Chains A and B, each alone.
Chain A
Amino acid sequence: MLPIAPIASGSMHGAIVPIAFQSITTTGVYQVTFSNIPQKYQDLFLVGYTRSASSGTTYPSAIYLNNTGVTGWSITGISGNGSSAFSGRNTQSGPTYGTIFTGAGASATSGIFTAYELHLLNYANTSTYKTSMLRAATDLNGSGLTEFDVGLWSNTSGINEIDIQHGTSFAIGSQFALYGIRTVGQ
C-alpha cells in the first residue's frame, strides 16, 4: 500500500515545464533539433503541429533520438483512414525512419497541419531501452489518418536530443514545443 500524503496547496508546482519551442518561419528547413535536453525530468512531452513542403497530400514525418539516425528503431502502430483500421510494424532489420507518422503534405488543403504528441517516458534512465508513444492526427476533409505508434529505441542512453524531419523541408508555420514532466521531488 502506498498512502498518498496530503499535498499543501502552497507547495504544489506544475508538472509540465516548457523546455523549448521552435517555429518554422522560412522555407527550406529540413530538420528541427532539440539538443542539450535537461536530464532532470521524469518524462518528455513533444507537441508538434507540422506540415511538409514536399509534394503529395500526405508525407511521412520521422523523429530520431540522440543524432543516431535509424539505428536501433522498431515500431508497432495502429491507424485508421476513415474506412478501415490497420496495424503495421517496422523492425530493426529494415528501418527507413525512426519513429514515424503520416503528416500533411504540400498538396493538402491549404492551412491544414498535422497535430501530434510524442511521449518519452523515463527518458533519462540509462538502464533500459526507450519506448516512445506517438499519437498523430490529420484530417483533410474527405481523407486523412488518425494513428498511434509505439516505438522502441534499443539504446540505454538517456535521451539528450530529438531530431524531427518532414520530407525535404517543413512548411512555414510548423511548430514544435518540448516539455519536461516532473514527478514528485523533481
Chain B
Amino acid sequence: MFPIATYTNNTAGANYINLTSIPQGFTHLQLRCWVKAYTNTVASFYIYFNGDSTGSNSSSHYLYGNGSSATSGGYTNSGAAIGYVIAAPAPGTAANVYASVICDILDYTNTNKGKTLKSIGGWDNNGSGAVELFSGAYLPTTAISSLTLGCDSGFAAGTRFDLYGITTA
C-alpha cells in the first residue's frame, strides 16, 4: 500500500472535494477518511466516481446500526452517488467528534468490469452515533480517475482524506 494523496479541508462548509488525476498504476485504491459535517445534526457523506452523477449508474446496499437496532437496505438506480457512506456528525452534535471511514475500490483501472466500493465507517458521541458496512456498485466499465467527495451540509474544517494505492505481485 502506497500513499497517493492527502487532503485536509481548511474551508468550513466546502461542499465537494475532488481528487483528480488518480494514478492508474495500482491494483486497488483505499481511501481513509476523517469526516465531519459543517452544519445540521448529521449529514450524509457520499462519493461519486469520475464526476458521474447519473443516477442509473449506481446502486448500493448497507448494514446500519444506530445503537438500538440494526437495519439493512439499499438503493437501485436511485443514487447519484456511488455511496452514501455514512452520516457524519456536525459540530452542533459533537464538537470534537469525527467519523472514521475506510473505503476500498478494487480493480479500479479495469475497463471490462463495473466497479464495487466497500466501506466500513461510523462515529460515536456518548449516547448517539452510527455504524455502517456499505457496498456500492458503479456500472460503467470506465477506469476510475477521480473521486468526488461530498457532504450534504458541506464539510467542516479539519475533515481529512488520505488516498492510497495497493499493488499486487
Residues of B near A13 (CB, < 8 A) are 2-3
Nearest chain B CB to A173 CB, angstrom units: 27
Query: Using an 8 Å CB-CB cutoff, how does the interface string of A81-93 with B read, 1 for contact, 0 for none?
Result: 0000111110110
Contact B4 A16 (CB under 8 A): no
Complex formed: what's the CA distance from A42 to B6 in Å?
10
Residues of A near B164 (CB, < 8 A) are 15
Contact A133 B2 (CB under 8 A): no
Q: Known: A1-B18, A78-B63, A131-B98. Contact between A152 and B125, CB under 8 A?
A: yes
Complex formed: what's the CA distance from A162 to B162 in Å?
23
Contact A12 B100 (CB under 8 A): no
Contact B69 A131 (CB under 8 A): no
Residues of B near A5 (CB, < 8 A) are 21
Complex formed: what's the CA distance from A15 to B72 in Å?
33
Residues of A near B102 (CB, < 8 A) are 119, 133
Contact A2 B19 (CB under 8 A): yes
Binding site for B on A (CB under 8 A): 1-7, 9, 12-16, 42-43, 74-80, 85-89, 91-92, 119, 121-122, 127-129, 131-133, 135, 148-152, 154, 156, 181-186
Contact A78 B65 (CB under 8 A): yes
Q: Is B99 an interface residue (CB 8 A)?
A: yes
Provide 16 A-B residue pairs closer than 8 Å at the C-beta atoms, listed in order of the A residue: A4-B20, A7-B4, A13-B3, A15-B2, A42-B32, A42-B162, A43-B32, A43-B162, A76-B130, A78-B63, A80-B70, A127-B96, A133-B102, A133-B121, A150-B131, A184-B5
Nearest chain B CB to A132 CB, angstrom units: 8
Complex formed: what's the CA distance from A76 to B164 in Å?
27
Complex formed: what's the CA distance from A5 to B94 in Å?
35
Contact B2 A14 (CB under 8 A): yes
Complex formed: what's the CA distance from A121 to B6 in Å?
13
Complex formed: what's the CA distance from A182 to B5 in Å?
11
Residues of A near B22 (CB, < 8 A) are 4
Complex formed: what's the CA distance from A132 to B67 in Å?
16
Contact B4 A4 (CB under 8 A): yes
Q: Is B92 an interface residue (CB 8 A)?
A: no
Contact A133 B70 (CB under 8 A): no
Q: Is B123 an interface residue (CB 8 A)?
A: yes
Q: Is B139 an interface residue (CB 8 A)?
A: no
Complex formed: what's the CA distance from A2 to B67 in Å?
36
Nearest B residue (CB) for A11: B2
Contact B18 A2 (CB under 8 A): yes
Q: Known: A76-B65, A78-B63, A121-B32. Contact between A91 and B5, CB under 8 A?
A: no
Residues of B near A85 (CB, < 8 A) are 63, 65, 70, 72
Contact A91 B123 (CB under 8 A): no
Nearest chain A CB to B131 CB, angstrom units: 5
Contact A91 B21 (CB under 8 A): no
> Which residues 1-19 in B have Cβ within 8 Å of A in the complex?
1-7, 17-19
Q: Known: A76-B130, A87-B131, A121-B32. Contact between A133 and B124, CB under 8 A?
A: no
